[in-house]
Structure 1
Amino acid sequence: MGSYKCCLCFTRKFRWCEAEPPADVRAAFAAHAGEGGSYMAADQFRKFLADQGDAGHDAELVIEKGIQLGPRQHLRGKLPVPAFTLDDFHRYLFSVELNPPIRSQVPALLFLDQLLHLLDLGHNSYLTGNQLSSDCSDVPIIKALKNGVRVIELDMWPNATKDNIDILHGRTLTSPVELIKCLRSIKEHAFSASPYPVIITLEDHLTPDLQAKVAEMVVETFGDLLYYPDSESPNEFPSPESLKKRIIISTKPPKEYLAAKNDKEKNGNSQNLNDDEEAWGKEVPGLQTELNKVSAFSFAVF
């Protein structure tokens, strides 16, 4: 509570306005505070840090800086020793300067299947606007990569003459962009914000001959940047550290095929399903096969 003169005539009192410490902060403070829980001295704060696995900080210095973040000294009340009050402790916990977030470095032992839960993902990464009538371009892809996005989705469709591959949001009025342009932009900007791997998810609406063309484009564009697993079915994925500066290709069948497959499986119509797979060209295995033809190694397709 602070008192201030107004117009030299009367005094007004203002309560120090700050968010109340939540219950878990109060509990942590009470567990380490002394003198009936009114303050946390340096040795008690040091024990708190050690309990959290952080014994590398100077407790006295942190307390001194933490006190400076709070209200003026006469508003805090007098303490017998330099110490944190509950409010000081609360401010310390949420201070970017004194208690910054966990460092952004990815642990080397984190495997890729775990890393996928932590990735910034791009959905329809090529769209400049809405999903119905906007332009498709490599510009949003470049922007996403510069912002740290690690997964780029590309929807592949045959172009108007059926002899090349366009990227667009299918069955809409979106204008297409060529696949090769997107791939070249990804190569140029993939690691501008982070050295960790970029995953390109290809939603495949192509015929087998165009799948083969995609495989050639991918291998020619990325070359040694491509990740090739040691085996087709690894027991565990490599760590992000070992995948720095690598491009990983992921393929998936189109949504309409998955929906039709699910309906037919429910109806038990396996024969028709097999016929459809033959007509469709078994896209996911087909792209894998074509990649194997282009390269002497097995490609990483998740």
Structure 2
Amino acid sequence: MEENRWFLSTIQNDFRAGRIDFDNTISLLEKLQISFDLIHVKHVFKKTLDKRKERTINIEDFRAIYRAIVHRLEFQELFRAYSINGKILSHSEFSEFLRREQGETEDCEKSALESILKYEPIEEVKKRRQMSFEGFIRYLNSEDCSIFKKHQRSVYQDMNQPLCDYFISSSHNTYLTADQLVGPSDLWGYTSALLKGCRCLEIDCWDGSNVEPVVYHGHTLTSKILFREVIQVIDKYAFMASDYPVVLSLENHCSPEQQEVMAECLRSILGDRLLTSTIGDTPVTHLPSPE
């Protein structure tokens, strides 16, 4: 009951109009301070829409999406293994979890209390020095449980060497979201790659109808998307995950006429973001650095 009240009080204002779209769903998940994978959310959201044949969802749909994303089976199994009633972890139960599963050997009771106060979102539960499943999820998804080194989450390498001195996070056939023979080409491929921090994207360019170049896996049954729209998506998402340069790998199969259209798209859409000449006035002897 307390979890339901917390959940409703957190999101009810966002459902004043009754229904929300995908962008609002993402905003709500961020508001709930839940870590999530954007591709997974899109997949679950699409499955929900396919059932309803609509473009928006109601509050019960959002609850289902939330549970599908957050309530992972292994989290539930761990929680139930230490919670006597399967609903709440007491201070002592959570202390035992820290000792047995997390390998903490010193003052587990103090660590348990600190984590409860830090991660438990339901005030009534927090006051009783207990942890709900929502708090347990937040704890497991937190930095305190991460196996990665915190100082390496941001760029710590020397980024002033020539561009060719680095391994560059690259995406092959970026436009494909399924197989390479009959699968769909989708702009989401570029959005997803850029949001993951990719700095090199592949664009396979072919002549399209109405003198509009298209992107697809040539000589296959994959669907086609407009080159112009690909560049628009890249312009929008290029620097959301990283400020470092994006390399566009153009596999060019277009006629001279449609190559002109490609060049016009790059110039008009990317504008000042497109590097069209060397940097500075000094003679160039090597590639510029990422910085």
| TM-score bucket (shorter structure) | 0.3 to 0.5
**Greater C-alpha Rg:** 1
Q: Higher helix proportion, which one?
A: 2
Q: Higher strand proportion, which one?
A: 1
- When normalised by structure 2's length, the TM-score is 0.46
